[in-house]
A and B are shown apart, each in its own frame.
Chain A
Amino acid sequence: MRQGGNKNKAFSLKTRLTRLKRDSNRWSVFTLAIVLFLALPIVFIGVELFSGPGETWGHIVEYLLPDYIWNSLYLVFFCSILVLVLGVSSAWFVSRFDFLFRKQMEWLLILPLAIPSYIVGYAYAGIFDYGGSMDLIFRQLNLDFVRIDIMNRAGLAFVLSISLFPYVYVSARAFFLNQANNLLEASKMLGVGEAKTFFKLMLPLARPAIVAGLVLVLMEVLNDYGAAKYYGVNTFTTGIFRSWFSLEEPQTAVYLSALLILIIFALILFEKWQVRKVKFTSAKSNSTQIQRKEPKGAIKWGIFSVVLLPILLGFILPVAQLIYWAILTASTVFDFRFIVLSFQSFGIAITSAIITVFFALLLIYFSKWSALRFIKNVARVGVLGYAIPGAVIAIGIMIPTLALDKWLIKMLGNFGIDSGLIINGTLIALFYAYAVRFLAVAYNPIDSTALKVDNSIPDSSKVLGVGNLKTFFKIEFPLIKTGVFSAVILVFIDVMKELPLTLILKPYHVDTLAVKAFEYASDEMVMEASIPSLFIIFTAMIPVIFLNKLLIKR
């Protein structure tokens, strides 16, 4: 027998190159092109670093940068603690115990995600302000109002935590429900008590899931602009805005963006490291459901209140405050112009959702049709935009497209055409930015439904003589429709809520509900911000309830 002869030959450089030539097809090229297109804003931030910092950079480093770093770390630290306590405790209680309204509370706990953080911020400012809701209630009760000042770092940490903890809740709960039952039973059989089971067994095992949720929260914390601006806290994001709009120094914005990206990558590395450390939890999901305990007496009410508290703080209170304001301001805010604005906002959200989902589909299927295996990993790079704050993406798009726009004006001017800003004067830049930022939101549900379709299904179509594209339209698309539909809805919600990126890239005459709410709040008309806010919340709420099952399955 010939042994090993061909073995060495098969992976020599020469045969590898021959195969690379054989296996490169147009799908490989298309995938690379799309990834490059999506990564362009980040690449530009990197390239622009070489042009050196702006004039004010020295000033910022000396006076503001310590503040940015310190505040961002403060927020990261305290938000982590708060969302972990709120998210993990509520997830554990609803998966382990049965109590009054447990089923309703299970999905109510997700609802805070329907309210953008900045809107929660406005509501709480109103609740604690002089002449605010608390003040009124205290006066009604003839009590002295002790004002709690929340317009500061601590208040911001509270507001961000209370609106973002559901990310941790959802992923921790999914772990407790899907993976934990056999372990729980084993622990019970060993005679271990409830508290020890939780702290010694469930918590360490759920750590990768919890960390995954936490990292999402922290990315949102670093992404936030609206709440930090309103609460007067200087963060990296507010710094980027200040250098862009007030100081008019794009280079400084670029440098701040680059620093922020570094922080985000540190977070991602932290997550990867945490997940790697606890690989053993990736066991197959357990088909049996957790058997819920029914606690009695004081414990029952204790658990009930612990679970109710985040719902109350994260959803009921802010919404109540907004509704109260809405009633007061309805007559002045709710007019024809507002209806037009709402439709405009929906239109932008739905269009960008469809564009984003389209890109996600291209990326998923082109990389699948590419015969080169590394292309699949390359495709995942295109998804990284979810980690990059909206303001950073906006800067990364604005700089190159403005240059392109200027060039186009000059070129078309030669032909006597007055084109104006083709990319930045229209919605093109905005749609591009949404696609970069929210690609992961579309990619993940589609990819997971696509994974459920066994490979043998498209394979058999190909063996039957049908090419990739036709196979996609006739076989694969009908089978992943639900995933595509939920992807459209999820991106739609995110675009409706999006603020920083929209503020930077929107054309002058275009507004969204989020921008309108922000503008009212910035103009000392926070009460008027309630109606656009409620519109956002209700549009986001219906799909959140609707997608509840899907989120939990993930």
Chain B
Amino acid sequence: MLTIDSLSKSFDKGKNYAIEDVTFNLKAGHVCAIVGESGSGKTTLVRLIAGLERPDHGSIAMEGKVIASLNKFVQPEKRKIGLVFQEYALFPHLTILDNILYGISKVKHKKQRAQDMLDLVGLDDMGSRYPHQLSGGQQQRVALARALAPEPSLLILDEPFSNLDTMLRTQLRNEVFDIIKKTEVTVLFVTHDTQDALSVADEILILQNGKVIQKDVASNLYVKPSTLYVASLFGSTVHINKNLQNAFRCPLKETCCHAIRNEKIKVNPSPDDFDCEYLTTAQVIKKIELGDSIQLLLKLESGEQLTVITQDKNIADTINIGFNSKDILEFDQEQ
């Protein structure tokens, strides 16, 4: 449905690339999350897709038709893409109903369609209000209704929940995606929050420094991350460098890069009931209470420092830690 081929965009004539050589496909009806830190190029990528920026290289095609390439550019207003902006971008001088009506054209029952959209997002009695009279969550839903009203073939959500506090965020995220599921629209969902991505996306695309690092279904990203960076996005991770390999006496392939998730490091398995393949002793430098668990800052004999989390409240000053080879993550190159 959406095909992106070696797309590049630079804002300083090629010195730095906001988006570099991005290639991917999106299937109709899928929800794809684009995950990356701020500055990774997420917003530039969606602006390119929406037609608000023009690519320096590569092409974008929708439903088999090229909408942007080196010599072709389809105006944003001709693309049939719905976009929900981070800051909602509701028209402040129009009522909620007029905001939603704004994009609907060539439909006989415009008013009815707009009212249906209001019903869909559960704001049926708010049509005559102005944006500033609504709460952040309500504005968010209006923005969604407005984007869905012209029946776009692709809906893009650009960090739609980043302006909301955590409590509201989870609730609204579920609400929004319940609404979206009803419409069966294809969705690109931009976020810096992996929790957001994991909970709603069919597949996730990881962007770092403008490049696609990995694109996969959610479960694979956790189990088979392609780089250390991707691994650390989905839970804190320790890079098993040469020193750690020596400390744990676990020789690993030199051509690869290895890591272990902190949660997979076992604390205090007594040498007697020994279920860890690799083991070492460590000195506890600091204990941080986290409520139901404790975070430990450890110092290994080799001098390396490491943090682990344990439920065990009785921690001696020197403890044993270890992990198993099945939990080791292996990457092609060091990132």
Contacts and interface: CB of A to CB of B under 8 A. Distances in A.
Interface of A: 2, 6-7, 9-11, 15, 18-19, 21-23, 371, 454, 456-457, 459-467, 474-475, 478-479
Contacts of B17: 7
Given A459-B76, A466-B103, A18 B89 contact: no
B58 interface: yes
B335 to A, nearest CB: 12
B8 interface: yes
A463 B8 contact: no
Contacts of A18: 70-71
B74 to A, nearest CB: 11
- The secondary-structure label for the interface of chain A is helix
A10 B57 contact: yes
Given A10-B14, A462-B75, A454 B92 contact: no
A17 to B, nearest CB: 10
B71 A22 contact: yes
Given A2-B21, A460-B89, 12 more contacts: A9-B57, A23-B73, A456-B89, A460-B146, A462-B76, A463-B76, A463-B81, A463-B82, A463-B147, A465-B77, A474-B102, A479-B93
Contacts of A461: 91, 102
Contact of B54 (A22, A459, A475): A22
A464 B57 contact: no
- Main SS of the interface on chain B? loop
Nearest to B68: A22
Nearest to B211: A1
A15 B70 CA distance: 7
13 contacts: A6-B8, A6-B21, A6-B57, A9-B57, A11-B10, A11-B56, A371-B73, A454-B87, A459-B76, A461-B91, A461-B102, A463-B77, A464-B146
Interface in B8-57: 8, 10, 13-14, 17, 20-21, 50-52, 54, 56-57
A463 B105 contact: no
B234 interface: no
B56 to A, nearest CB: 5
Contact of B83 (A10, A22, A463, A466): A463
A478 B91 CA distance: 10
A462 B71 contact: no
Contacts of B57: 6, 9-10, 15
A272 B78 CA distance: 43
Contact of B89 (A19, A457, A467): A457
A478 B92 CA distance: 10
Contacts of A475: 91
Contacts of B52: 459, 462-463
B152 to A, nearest CB: 9
A11 B76 CA distance: 24
Contact of A479 (B80, B81, B92, B102): B92
Contacts of B77: 462-467
A459 B80 CA distance: 14
Point out which of A11, A15, A21, A478 has the most chain B C-beta atoms below 10 A from its C-beta: A11
B8 A7 contact: yes
B150 interface: yes
Given A2-B21, A464-B150, A467-B75, A22 B70 contact: yes
Contacts of A478: 93
Nearest to A475: B91
Contacts of A2: 21
A18 B20 CA distance: 19
B75 to A, nearest CB: 7
A282 B107 CA distance: 50
B6 interface: yes
Contacts of A6: 6, 8, 20-21, 57-58
A10 B20 CA distance: 10
A19 B70 contact: yes
A464 B56 contact: no
B10 A10 contact: yes
A7 B85 contact: no
Contacts of A460: 83, 85, 89, 91, 146
Nearest to B53: A371
B281 to A, nearest CB: 41
A13 B17 CA distance: 18
Interface in B214-247: none
Contacts of A23: 54, 73
A529 B93 CA distance: 48
Interface string B185-197: 0000000000000
Contact of B102 (A371, A454, A464, A467): A464
A463 B50 contact: yes
B287 interface: no
A9 B56 CA distance: 10
A23 to B, nearest CB: 6
Nearest to A19: B70
B72 interface: yes
A30 B78 CA distance: 23
A19 B71 CA distance: 6
Contacts of A463: 50-52, 76-77, 79, 81-83, 147
B14 A466 contact: no
Contacts of A462: 51-52, 75-77
A377 B54 CA distance: 19
A352 B79 CA distance: 41
